[in-house]
């Protein structure tokens, strides 16, 4: 790998840093200081104002083509932007399920009409997308989804239930898998559909988590008629009954680097080192240094991945290794921080809340048990 940056890339980093520092300060002034959690109704609205500020100057999706609201930046420049984003202390992206998960699949499988009609509105936080994967009896085993879609004249009739829908209580649209061949099983007979949540027959019920946030939702579909033209270019992404291939592409984005860039963990690791210097004994400082090195290792692994992607490769099953690394790294960083804080940990809101969220990392995007199976079978070639 070439670990040096070009003059143009250094200039891109400098421009991003200057914009983020100036606009983050202005946004915080607008919301009166530190915003509420993006998983609360108040905080979600505050974060949307930030996302729209990003979009106005084409920072919401820097690697997208200009015609879809981006800057046409390279993957290398995207990594630099992510580093600067988290270095500046910018907030988590409440539009991430659309921009980082659905959008790559729209670029790969969507028609030109779908790309033109969906992407810019997504980046501009006009349409807000949530993920309709999990069901009451289909968690990590996505192939067992039971929600149905029946083809009728002019559209589809949807029945079923989606659950654990992140920020679904605040979103406008859902993307997910539906069984369209009633005689099919497992990976066959599934269609990837794009569903406006104001469709008659769709009910969204938000519910609170133990930490008090309220963005999670259950989505019930009761004879909901989804017209073919309910979203620009059509509601089917990819081919009817070819939804599994599209879903696996989306899952690859969720498990890979687009959802959790190294910049997020590099910034956390730097904060951890500062905490260790202020509070730690020799043992805890050594643990903090080890966690910092693991964050650096993730960056190096990502640079290797982007080198291959830039040459035209696809991430494939190796995305499972990436997901294993960042999800367990997130827990490690925050566990060391809580140990450093000791009895004050419960009073240190940001570290404690982030640790609670980190614990979900080995579960969402496919449990780490499943990821180890994928890595063993498809990367290492071990028997089932």
Q: Two tokens at 47?
A: 């974060």
- What does 34-60 look like in DSSP terms, one character per residue? SPPPTTSHHHHHHHHHHHHHHHHTT-T
Answer whether 354's CB lies under 8 Å from 341's CB.
no
- Catalytic residue of the set 51, 84, 254, 318: 254
Q: How far apart are CA 37 and CA 43, in angstroms?
A: 5
254 catalytic? Reply is yes
Euclidean distance between CA atoms 257 and 326, whole angstroms? 9
Best CA proximity match to 369, nearest among 324, 309, 336: 324
- Note the helical H segments in the chain: 7-31, 41-56, 75-87, 96, 103-109, 112-123, 243-255, 262-279, 282-310, 318-341, 349-358, 368-374
Tell me the C-alpha distance between 166 and 174, whole Å.
10
Using DSSP's 3-state secondary structure scheme, residue 298 falls into: helix
Q: Distance between CA 215 and CA 55 in Å, rounded?
A: 23
Q: What is the CA radius of gyration of the chain?
A: 21
Give the residue numbers annotated as catalytic, written as ranges.
Answer: 254
């Amino acid at each position: 790998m070439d670990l040096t940056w070009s003059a143009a890339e250094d200039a891109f980093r400098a421009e991003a840093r200057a914009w983020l520092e100036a606009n983050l300060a202005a946004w915080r002034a607008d919301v009166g200081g530190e915003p509420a959690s993006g998983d609360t109704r108040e905080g979600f609205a505050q974060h949307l104002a930030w996302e729209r500020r990003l979009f106005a100057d084409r920072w919401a999706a820097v690697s997208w083509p200009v015609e879809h609201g981006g800057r046409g930046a390279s993957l290398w420049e995207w990594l630099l932007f992510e580093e600067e984003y988290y270095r500046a202390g910018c907030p988590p992206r409440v539009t991430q399920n659309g921009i980082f998960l659905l959008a790559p699949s729209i670029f790969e499988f969507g028609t030109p009409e779908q790309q033109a009609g969906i992407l810019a509105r997504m980046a501009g936080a006009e349409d807000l997308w949530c993920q309709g994967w999990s069901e009451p009896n289909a968690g990590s085993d996505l192939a067992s989804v039971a929600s149905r879609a029946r083809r009728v004249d002019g559209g589809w009739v949807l029945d079923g239930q989606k659950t654990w829908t992140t920020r679904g209580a605040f979103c406008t649209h859902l993307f997910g898998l539906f069984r369209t061949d009633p005689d099919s099983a497992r990976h066959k007979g599934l269609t990837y559909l794009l569903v406006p949540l104001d469709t008659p027959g769709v009910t969204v019920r938000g519910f609170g988590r133990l930490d008090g946030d309220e963005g999670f939702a259950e989505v019930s579909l009761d004879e909901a008629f989804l017209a073919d033209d309910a979203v620009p270019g059509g509601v089917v992404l990819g081919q009817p009954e070819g939804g599994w291939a599209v879903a696996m592409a989306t899952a690859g984005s969720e498990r890979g680097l687009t959802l959790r860039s190294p910049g997020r963990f590099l910034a956390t690791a730097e904060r951890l080192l500062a905490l260790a210097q202020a509070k730690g004994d020799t043992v805890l400082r050594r643990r903090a240094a080890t966690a910092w090195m693991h964050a650096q290792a993730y960056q190096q692994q990502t640079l290797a991945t982007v080198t291959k992607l830039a040459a035209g490769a696809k991430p494939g099953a190796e995305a499972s290794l990436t997901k294993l690394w960042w999800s367990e790294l997130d827990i490690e960083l925050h566990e060391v921080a809580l140990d450093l804080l000791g009895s004050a940990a419960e009073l240190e809101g940001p570290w404690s809340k982030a640790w609670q969220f980190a614990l979900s990392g080995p579960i969402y995007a496919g449990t780490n048990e499943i990821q180890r199976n994928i890595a063993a079978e498809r990367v290492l070639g071990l028997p089932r």
